[in-house]
Amino acid sequence: MNPNSSWWDWDHAAAVLPSLLLDGFKITVLATVLGTLIALVLGLIVAIIRRSSPPLINAPVTWVVEFIRMTPLVVQLVFANLVLSQYINSTLAIGICVLGVHYTTYMAEVYRAGIDSVPTGQWEAATALSLPRVRTWRAVVIPQAIRNTLPALGNYAISMFKETPFFVVIYIPELVRVAQNYGSHNFRYTEAITLAGLIFLAASYPTSLLIRRLEKKLA
Amino acid sequence: MDGVIGFIQDLGPNLQLVLERMPMILDGVFITLLASVLGAALALFIAFAFGLALLAKNVLVRGVARVFVEFFRGTSLVVQLFWLAFVLPQLPYPLGFQLDPLLVGVLALGLNYGAYAAEVVRGSIGSVPTGQYEAISALSLSPARGMFRIVIPQAWALMLPSLSNLWIQLLKGSAIVGTVTLYDLFFQVEQLRDRTGTWFAYSFALLAYYLIAWLIVILMNGLEIRAKHQIGRGPALKDSWRSLFRAPGSTPGGGRSARVVRDRSVAKAGTAGEGGLA
């Protein structure tokens, strides 16, 4: 179909790689790190609320969490961007918040399972020692709960990394968007998109190996 | 805030507009359902083919399956989608053909989530107790027969909750296919926006996806109840139809919390990695 096309052109590869790494990848990593931080903190808060609040609060929180978890990140991104762009100037900031909130709903489940796996005896011991409620959570329950959940939380962080390309729908110049822009400007997608994929693989595979090792160590 | 007030004020006319545009919206629903059902079917096929290959004794078979799974898990859905849509047509002969957008969507969704599901299949089959394998040889069943009659039915019950979650992930991931000119539910609802305003159009889209996700949850809950009943570990579907409507991960003893416990036993068996999506 394309008489002039070739399998691979190193000139295009060399031309696109710097902007992929220096512009795209930088934003991708930034979004992953900040999104993970948001999800780690909010997820724990949601898990604690769901564990320790009366049904009247618990039920709506549960429903909202479930709703966010069961609806597409892509739709949430576009929606939030349209609504919030009049208040917040940065599309990237909106994207990171949506990503963080979306993954909050996953991480809350992980924390909840971790909290459930803390033996009842530990709660009873805290009551027997008449530890205040806040201290029970902070010094007894959370440290034990988090230890069990570290691998699962890490897996979600990697999964977030691989979902940052959904940002293309709100035109944030992360890795895949940079690759796509190069492709459409030069009528040549092969090197840009392939390299973007390889960068994802090169970053996520070693990380997932590390987490697997952590998982074995904690098991 | 005015967005929310406008949303309530215009609710009536907007709903009327939805009725007017219903044929287009249903087209979108159809495409979304088609992409997620065909994508899930491809993913399930890949999951069993590569999940079993990951457990093969032959190093070469195992190696090829491992590379395939890590490659499709590691390179991100959107990249795979764009590769099929933009790169494939630019490659020289014998490639260099333009796939139908539906095929692009189904292939990308199936390959990506199939790779995740292969890991689920492997983990579940690996966590069927050794005693069951011993029983197969004690009954002198052939390995294939033992696999299909003894191991897989038990593993199937174990893997269904994770497969259910992955299918919902796939459905959610399918909302990106508009970027490769496949006009799905999200695309069609976005066309409403200039007439109905942002709040209505996107709330409608989210709600529609939420309902479709629930269809998947109910179907998969049903399959799980049936699978457990068939291996003698639970009541029949007609006695426990209420648990069809159990949200994924909302009941202790079901859904995700049970999954984490199982993941730990999976990790102990040296077959870690089923837990998250990574």
A163-188 burial code (b ≥16 CB/10 A, e <16):
bbbbbbbbebbbbbbbbbbbbeeeeb
Task: State the residue for tokens 């990695």.
Answer: B273
Chain B residues near residue A66 by CB distance under 8 angstroms? 247, 250
CB pairs < 8 Å spanning A and B: 190
Q: Take residue B88 and report the two structure tokens written for it.
A: 């494939």
Helix axes A175-186, A10-19, angle to 10 degrees: 140
Is B215 at the interface with chain A, CB within 8 A? no
What is the spatial distance between Cα B54 and Cα B36, in angstroms, rounded to a whole number?
25
What local confidence, expressed as pLDDT, does residue A52 receive?
86
Q: What is the pLDDT of residues B56-89, one digit of tens each?
A: 999 999 999 999 999 999 999 999 999 999 999 9
Query: Are the C-beta atoms of A16 and A176 separated by less than 8 Å?
Result: no
Give the CA-trace dihedral at B59, B64, B67, B68, to 10 degrees: -140
What local confidence, expressed as pLDDT, does residue A4 receive?
57
Query: What is the CATH number assigned to the segment(s) B3-269?
Result: 1.10.3720.10
Q: Take residue A50 and report the two structure tokens written for it.
A: 């769901």
Query: Are the C-beta atoms of B119 and B66 separated by less than 8 Å?
Result: no
CA B69 to chain centre: 16
Q: What is the pLDDT of residues A63-109, one digit of tens each?
A: 999 999 999 999 999 999 999 999 999 999 999 999 999 999 999 99
Look at residue B52 and give its three-state secondary structure: helix
Task: State the residue for tokens 């729908």.
Answer: A169
Is B190 at the interface with chain A, CB within 8 A? yes
Residues 6 or more apart in contact with residue A48 via CB below 8 angstroms: A111, A115, A137
For chain B, which residues make up each domain, given as ranges?
3-269
What is the spatial distance between Cα A111 and Cα B113, in angstroms, rounded to a whole number?
24
Measured between CA atoms, the residue of chain B closest to residue A66 is: B247
Which residue of A2, A149, A176 is in closest CB contact with B78? A176
A75 with B206: Cβ contact below 8 A: yes
Chain A residues near residue B270 by CB distance under 8 angstroms? 216
Quick one: average pLDDT of A9-28?
94
B83 with A116: Cβ contact below 8 A: no
What local confidence, expressed as pLDDT, does residue A192 receive?
96
Q: How far is B45 from chain A (nearest CA, A)?
A: 23
> Residue B273 — left, alpha, or beta (φ > 0 → left; ψ -120 to 50 → alpha)?
left
What local confidence, expressed as pLDDT, does residue B93 receive?
81
In one-letter notation, the amino acid at residue A211 is: I
Q: What is the pLDDT of residues A183-198, one digit of tens each?
A: 999 999 999 999 999 9
Query: Are the C-beta atoms of B91 and B83 separated by less than 8 Å?
Result: no
What local confidence, expressed as pLDDT, does residue A1 receive?
46
Q: Provide the 10 A C-beta neighbour count for residue B187.
A: 20
Give the CA-trace dihedral at B153, B157, B161, B162, to 10 degrees: -40
Query: Are the C-beta atoms of A96 and A164 separated by less than 8 Å?
Result: no
What local confidence, expressed as pLDDT, does residue B246 receive?
86
Burial class (CB in 10 A: 0-12, 13-18, 19+), A22: exposed
Is B97 at the interface with chain A, CB within 8 A? yes
List, for chain B, all residue ranges whose pLDDT scores fall below the cut of 70.
Answer: 1-2, 249-278
A113 with B82: Cβ contact below 8 A: no
B277 with A155: Cβ contact below 8 A: yes
Furthest-apart CA atoms within chain B: distance in Å: 73
Q: How far is A131 from chain B (nearest CA, A)?
A: 26
ipTM over 0.90: yes
> pLDDT category, A2, cuts 50, 70, 90?
low
What is the spatial distance between Cα B216 and Cα B171, in angstroms, rounded to a whole number?
9
